[in-house]
Amino acid sequence: MTMLLFREVAEAFEKIEATSGRLDMTGLLAGIFAKCTPAEVEQLILLAQGVVAPPFAGIEIGMGERFVIRAIASSTGYDEKNVNAAYKEKGDLGLVAQELLGKKKQSSLVKTELTLKKVFGAFSRIAGTSGTGSQELKIKLLAELLNSATESEGKYLVRMPIGKLRLGVGEPTIIDALSVCRSGTKELREPLERAFSLCSDLGYIGRLFFESPEKIDKFKITLFKPVRPALAERLGSAAEIIEKIGPCGADAKYDGLRLQVHKKGKKVEIFSRKLERIANMFPEIVGATQALKQGELIFEGEALAHDIHNDRYLSFQQTMQRKRKHGVAEMAGSRPLRLFVFDLLYADGKDIGALPFAERREFVEKIFGKPGGQCVGKKEVSTLTATLFKKFDTARELEGFFNKCIASGLEGIIAKELGAAYQPGKRKFAWIKLKRSYGEMADSIDAVVVGYYLGKGSRAEFEFGGLLCAVYNEQTDTLQTIARVGSGFSEDEMGSLREMLDAISIQEKPKGLECKLDADVWVAPKLVVTLVADEITISPMHTCCKEGGRGFALRFPRMAAIREDKGIKEITTSQEIESMFNLQKRTKI
């Protein structure tokens, strides 16, 4: 098989960008996958997501727009002033590169036809370049690609390093395309999805699948490749939980940072719920994990910062201050973390996650000890300790435990089916959360910001007036609007939100967003916020679970928190919103 030309990739990307139908996108991706070797399919999957490595690797192509502009100027013969003027007009550096490459003022003496392998290698080198002179080298490497690029190729070569590829291709669509490429249908989606959930590396899974589908069927948990976290469904009362899953166990639900810890010998890695490597930020957890006698472990817990001077646990927002790169040692001394362990997935070569939860819990208590009777212990609690957990036969007992947790200042409980295996990346009734209510809503929701509005009146000075937020529809692989949020912001937050959102602003509505409203400024869907509201209502203006011209919306929504620990993969789904609406005992649409 000959090497795949990047020209063919760019042609496929152009067709994908021009379509909004998921089935059409799937077919186009399957068509280009069919031309790939196993190594090329891995590279293509990563580049289609605008990366050269999975998120947990911590490797980013990243180049600032100013440096990309210099590369365009260098390769086309136009000066930076001309490039900037074209960018101001078009609002898309990819389109600028496409136009200027079509009317170059100069031709390169060395010009070769680009292959996918060459492009991927160049971007990998750009991502790995650091230190003195690194920016000049990155500009040179990108300019060299552009020297040999066609107009269409140039558009995508420029969009990749600034993180604005604009394909609108999500992981479910890529998984479907892999299946369609090999079988002609989506019948292989489930094993592919399962394998991906066990390692969070879709490029790697694509390569293994092309080498041999049997490797996917036999795929196992791998140390230092994070497992996608299991997610909980919602119910409105202890009685509904017992009715749904029968006698169960329940953990106290802590409002902290969810962490996944991997250990092999003295090597320890910690992954955030966004699958970032963050072990360097939490030395006390690393040290406590190294001291465990088990050689290999993967476990999950909720981390809370402890104010040792006042002997109290801090709020989520205060705990989030520990997730930073500077002042780590000082923060570890004054605000050490306590990790409340709630599940174990792997131990000394054995896949513990496949066992029933009741057995996994026994392993947790054997390794981390049984917790005391309090929901949250104080100074006597070690760095690693099991969550408070009990088993319940009746709704009355479960409700009593829930009330105790709420009285202790916690969020609520997570009820767990005792016989269920761990469900990576899935939202199942194996886990059910019961939280304190927010007005008539059964829970807060996590939404992604897709646009913002400019300030008026008293907010004019901040140039920020509110957010347009969306949730994720799993069935259509699209984002759907749920709320226009105009309250819950402090003056400091209005300023910081404007800064964060301007950094990810885009010219047009995000690809894959179903929306009837306009925003003053559209943004790439990256920033997650927690919202509370009085209730969920039916609205003609929003598209969440749209049917007959109406969808669901939040009534009097307020922003409760900026969730830098969460990514777009963890936002609330449209299907969850419908369930929450039904929990309000209202009539369905």
Residue 474 tokens read as 């799993």
Q: Are 488 and 515 in contact (CB under 8 A)?
A: no
Q: Which contacts (CB < 8 Å, 24+ apart) does range 89-94 have?
A: 90/507, 91/506, 91/507, 92/159, 92/164, 92/507, 93/65, 93/68, 93/69, 93/158, 93/159, 93/162, 93/164, 94/154, 94/155, 94/156, 94/158, 94/159, 94/164, 94/166
What's the pLDDT score for residue 462? Answer: 55
CA–CA dist 179, 26 (Å, integer): 10
Of 499, 501, 489, residue with least CA distance to 449: 501
CA–CA dist 565, 574 (Å, integer): 21
Q: Are 288 and 282 in contact (CB under 8 A)?
A: no
Amino acid of residue 350: K
- pLDDT tens, position by position, 86-103: 999 998 999 999 999 988
What's the pLDDT score for residue 586? Answer: 45
Query: Beta strands 505-506 and 521-523: pairing type?
Result: antiparallel
CA–CA dist 322, 377 (Å, integer): 20
Residue 145, classed as helix, strand or coil, is helix
CA–CA dist 515, 479 (Å, integer): 8
What's the pLDDT score for residue 426? Answer: 85
CA–CA dist 200, 227 (Å, integer): 6
Q: Which CATH class is domain 445-583?
A: mainly beta
Amino acid of residue 347: A
What's the pLDDT score for residue 325? Answer: 58
CA–CA dist 524, 4 (Å, integer): 30
Query: Beta strands 267-272 and 544-547: pairing type?
Result: unpaired
What's the pLDDT score for residue 588? Answer: 40
Q: Are 253 and 411 in contact (CB under 8 A)?
A: yes
CA distances from 286 to 86, 319, 570 (A): 50, 17, 25
Reported in sequence order, the residue ranges of 486-527 that DSSP labels E, i.e. its strands, are: 505-506, 513-514, 521-523
Enter the DSSP assignment of 461: G
Q: Residue 58: which region, alpha, beta or left (left: phi > 0; alpha: psi -120 to 50)?
A: left
Number of H helices, E strands in the chain: 21, 23
Amino acid of residue 471: V
Q: Are 497 and 562 in contact (CB under 8 A)?
A: yes
What are the φ/ψ torsions at residue 347 (nearest 5 degrees)?
-150, 120
| Residue 541: CB atoms within 10 Å | 12
Q: Which residue has the tokens 């709320």?
A: 483
The two most distant CA atoms of the chain are separated, in Å, by 80
List helix spans (H) across 356-440. 357-368, 395-407
What's the pLDDT score for residue 495? Answer: 79
The residues carrying an active-site annotation are 253
CA–CA dist 287, 268 (Å, integer): 9
Domain 231-435 is classified in which CATH homologous superfamily?
A: DNA ligase/mRNA capping enzyme (3.30.470.30)
Residue 15 tokens read as 């067709």
Q: Are 478 and 444 in contact (CB under 8 A)?
A: no
Please report how many Cα atoms fall inside a 13 Å half-sphere around the Cα of residue 353, on the Cβ side: 22
Residues 294-312: b if buried by 16+ CB within 10 A, e if exposed: eeebbbbbbbbbbeeeeee
- pLDDT tens, position by position, 358-392: 999 999 999 998 875 555 555 455 789 999 999 99
Q: Are 290 and 268 in contact (CB under 8 A)?
A: yes
Q: Are 294 and 348 in contact (CB under 8 A)?
A: yes
What does the domain layout of the chain look like in residue ranges? Answer: 231-435, 445-583
Which element (helix H / strand E) includes 353? Answer: none
pTM of the model: 0.85
The parts of the chain modelled with pLDDT lower than 70 are: 1, 107-110, 306-334, 372-381, 437-440, 442, 456-463, 585-589
